[in-house]
Structure 1
Amino acid sequence: MSGYRIACIPGDGIGVEVTGEARQVLDRAAERHGFRLRWTEFDWSCERYTRTGRMMPEDGLERLAEHDAILLGAVGFPGVPDHVSLWGLLIPIRRAFDQYVNLRPVRLLPGLVSPLAGREAADLDMVIVRENSEGEYSRIGGRHNPGTPDEFVVQQSVFTRRGVHRIIRYAFELARERGGAVCSATKSNGLVHSMPFWDEVFAEVAAGYPDIPHEQCHVDALAARMVLRPDRVDVVVASNLFGDILSDLAAAVVGGLGTAPSANVNPERRHPSMFEAVHGSAPDIAGRGLANPVAQILTAAMMLDHLGEHAAGAAVRDAVDAVLRDGTVRTPDIGGRATTGELGKAIRDAVSGPRPAVR
């Protein structure tokens, strides 16, 4: 029986709850499809930070590197500034392991209704390909003359030809797989250095894909299109900041962050990739059994695909679709009264169908 070493970081708040449900669903899928997941859990979180002053130990990255993939719950909790939790755990992992693709597929799931009137599932199926290793999320800069009337801050963005080229190329390859089109999010009318450079590289890469329809769109206009004409959005490639914002908007138009999965991918597989839902730790509902585990379960299905267990990944997605289509078991955010555990169990049970043929 084949097996995979998976590092699990449940994180904070509802991250712990939804990650627990996702693990049980994955174990059921693995059992049904003839492989094993060997879990190693790490308590790296804001709670750990309050005890030790570090989100993860000094050898944390070395310990993660021994695994085939990482399943991460949401991180963040009141009392620990967001920049501490982000730069103390998530961003170091993304960058040390060159997870330069942040992949965020968005679709209207069966049985759910979009906040956009009259929109059906066929209108809402897009993927945000977010550059994940540079761009606007940079530590270059500083704060000067603090506490005086002359105080000012400088925040630098970093765009490299290598970084921009590879994320745009990834988007075109994905569009080819989907039989779709690529839209590049830009703001070259306002950001006079970074975005014209981004646009130039986009044009260079697009020239190598004459079979793929493509266009550039200012990010503000693209945000409006996601609301007014989401059927005209397929694969969006965007910088770190733009992709972060657009993916939350895309999740909102299909019903909320509770159904939005995400992956931090090293396409060359030289390092482990990391899988995390788009939503945060939601400390206001943590521990109350109200969190929707669907986003984390679909995130876990993306991890199975990345590991090459496509049948198991499809089985998990089919189970989610079947449970939501039935509509009997739903958490409050999607119009029901079920608890986190009840929805997780329903999906886990739906994974259990006729046993697949032995490979």
Structure 2
Amino acid sequence: MTVKIIAQIAGDGIGPEVIRQGRKAADAATAKTGTDLEWRTFPWGASHYLSTGEVLPDDAVDRLSECDSIYLGAIGDPKVKPGILERGILLTLRFGFDMYVNLRPARAFPKVPVPIAGADGHSIDMLVVRENTEDLYMGLGATGDGSIDEAIEAERGLYDLTGSVKLETGHRMAMQMGIATEPAIRRITATACRFARGRGDDSILLATKANAMPQLYGFWEEIAADEAKAQGIPMETMNVDAMCYHAVRSPWDFGTVLCPNLFGDIVSDLFAGITGGLGVAAGGNLGDGLGMFEPIHGSAPDIAGTDRANPLAAILSAGLMLDSLGEHRAAKTIDRAVETFLSENDGDDLPREMGGQVGTEAVGDRVAEIIERIGEETP
């Protein structure tokens, strides 16, 4: 029997509630594939920080390196200043394991209302492939009272960046740096091409803003176009503002969308809203090694403990995780089970987020039952 070691970080708010259901689905899906999932639980998140003052222990990366994947609930709590946990956990792990791909699929599911006129009869199935280590999310910035004199340092899987910035205005000011490098653009473009080919898309679409920021995004366009040509996949470009406009008018026209880091964060949430909300929005952070998978919704502390959280996004994220581990049959079974659950139910039998009366735990139980029922049928 094959053993896969999964690091479980339940996180904050509804994180522990939804991650239990995703774990339940993953265990059910792998039960008949000859793979055993060994779960290792780590306590990191708001409660750990508030009780210990520690965001991550010094040996966190080493301990996680012993695992095959990370399964994350959600990070964030109003008792903790914004940015401490997000940067201290999420970005530390993304950068530490060079997870240069943020994968965010967005598709319309049965019985999930799509808030777009004329959507009936159209298939909506989009995939955002977001560069995950550069752009304006490098974490390089400063504020100053009339001037900024800042040393610049950043470690990435591809390089170590060092330098300094010196600015004078005479006024209070802030500076945030966006960086793009050729190897980083090439590898994410190649990844987008690979996913497009696997989905059957005949091209990729790059979200850009080169007309306003030619140095950064003009460079992106140049390198991405050259790499897509080398991969044998046509690439089109669209200004990100125009993309948002057209996406809410005809989302069925979109397929694989390649995005720099900032645009990918924004566009993927828009696409999630178009396809029915964050309750069905899965996400994954991938690289050439350890990956981390999480629903893209937040910790929603206002509904924590009320059995109202929709666990389907967490369940779908578990499917993405299994797919990345080579457990393709189990991943397909989870996808089919979610679609079957939504197809077979309506009204009060849907999750509370979708206007039904079924709580978090019960949704997880029903999906797990369907997985057991259809597991043998999935090729």
TM-score using structure 2 length? 0.90
> CA distance change for structure 1 residues 355 and 285 in 2, over 3 Å: closer, same or farther?
closer
1:110-168 deviation line (CA, Å, top 9, x unaligned):
2222011221474310100000011110222211019xx92111111111111111111
Match of 1:206 in 2: 228
* Structural mapping, 1:237-252, within 5 Å: 237-252=258-273
Contact 2:106–2:126 (Cα < 8 Å) also in 1: yes
Contact 1:330–1:338 (Cα < 8 Å) also in 2: yes
Worse-matched range after superposition: 336-345 or 28-37: 28-37
Q: Which amino acid aligns with 1:175?
A: A
Give the Cα–Cα distance (whole angstroms) in 2 for the partners of residues 91 and 227 of structure 1. Answer: 30
Match of 1:169 in 2: 190
1:165-202 deviation line (CA, Å, top 9, x unaligned):
11111111211222212100000111131011101112
Give the Cα–Cα distance (whole angstroms) in 2 for the partners of residues 17 and 98 of structure 1. Answer: 28
Give the Cα–Cα distance (whole angstroms) in 2 for the partners of residues 57 and 121 of structure 1. Answer: 51
Alignment partner of 2:219: what SS? helix
* Structural mapping, 1:93-242, within 5 Å: 93-120=93-120, 122-145=122-145, 150-180=171-201, 181-210=203-232, 212-242=233-263
1:267-294 deviation line (CA, Å, top 9, x unaligned):
x3xx311111111001111111100000
Q: May I ask how many residue pairs the two structures share in their alignment?
A: 353
Give the Cα–Cα distance (whole angstroms) in 2 for the partners of residues 14 and 261 of structure 1. Answer: 15
Q: Which amino acid aligns with 2:362?
A: E
Match of 2:63 in 1: 63
Q: Whose strand proportion is higher, 1 or 2?
A: 2
> CA distance change for structure 1 residues 47 and 169 in 2, over 3 Å: closer, same or farther?
same
Match of 1:92 in 2: 92
Give the Cα–Cα distance (whole angstroms) in 2 for the partners of residues 295 and 9 of structure 1. Answer: 16
Shift of 1:89: 0.2
Aligned pair partner of 1:346 in 366, 374, 379: 366
Match of 2:351 in 1: 331
Q: How well do the aligned residues superpose, as a CA RMSD in angstroms?
A: 1.8
Give the Cα–Cα distance (whole angstroms) in 2 for the partners of residues 355 and 278 of structure 1. Answer: 26
Alignment partner of 1:150: what SS? strand
Shift of 1:216: 0.4
TM-score using structure 1 length? 0.94
Give the Cα–Cα distance (whole angstroms) in 2 for the partners of residues 20 and 313 of structure 1. Answer: 17
Alignment partner of 1:145: what SS? strand
Alignment partner of 1:284: what SS? helix
Q: Which amino acid aligns with 1:83?
A: G
Match of 2:292 in 1: 274
1:308-339 deviation line (CA, Å, top 9, x unaligned):
11111111111111111112432121121110
Give the Cα–Cα distance (whole angstroms) in 2 for the partners of residues 144 and 298 of structure 1. Answer: 44
Contact 2:29–2:375 (Cα < 8 Å) also in 1: no
Contact 2:225–2:235 (Cα < 8 Å) also in 1: no
Shift of 1:54: 2.1
Alignment partner of 2:74: what SS? coil
Q: Which amino acid aligns with 1:76?
A: G
Q: Which amino acid aligns with 1:280?
A: G
Match of 1:297 in 2: 315
Alignment partner of 1:203: what SS? helix
Shift of 1:355: 6.3
> CA distance change for structure 1 residues 135 and 354 in 2, over 3 Å: closer, same or farther?
closer
Shift of 1:206: 2.6
Gaps of 5+ in 1: none
Give the Cα–Cα distance (whole angstroms) in 2 for the partners of residues 225 and 88 of structure 1. Answer: 36
Gaps of 5+ in 2: 147-169
Contact 1:258–1:333 (Cα < 8 Å) also in 2: yes
Shift of 1:346: 0.6
Tell me, yes or no, if structure 1 residue 322 matches structure 2 residue 343: no
Alignment partner of 2:373: what SS? coil
Match of 1:50 in 2: 50
> CA distance change for structure 1 residues 47 and 125 in 2, over 3 Å: closer, same or farther?
same
1:38-80 deviation line (CA, Å, top 9, x unaligned):
0000010011111122222111111101000110011000021
